[in-house]
Amino acid sequence: MVFRQGGGYGERSREMHKATCSECKKECEVPFKPSGDRPIYCKECFSKRRNKNSNKW
């Protein structure tokens, strides 16, 4: 018997946590638990920063 079921994909793939972006103060969700110790960046700011200093990687 082949177990095949459609749907339900990605429903609980990742736990998202509500956070506030340290850069633009926008509410965003991050796939990790914000510790409050380090700054949180939304997708936009994160990619912006990554582009900014992409010497190594």
Which residues would be at the binding site for Zn ion (CB under 5 A)? 21, 23-24, 26, 42, 45
Measured from the CB of residue 14, what is the shortest distance to Zn ion in angstroms? Answer: 19
| Helix/strand/coil percentages in the chain, nearest 5 | 20, 15, 70
Closest to Zn ion by CB, 2 vs 22, is 22
In the complex with Zn ion, the residue whose CB is nearer, 16 or 24, is 24
Q: Which is nearer to Zn ion, 15 or 29 (CB)?
A: 29
**SS3 label, residue 31:** coil
34 contacts 27 by C-beta, under 8 angstroms: no
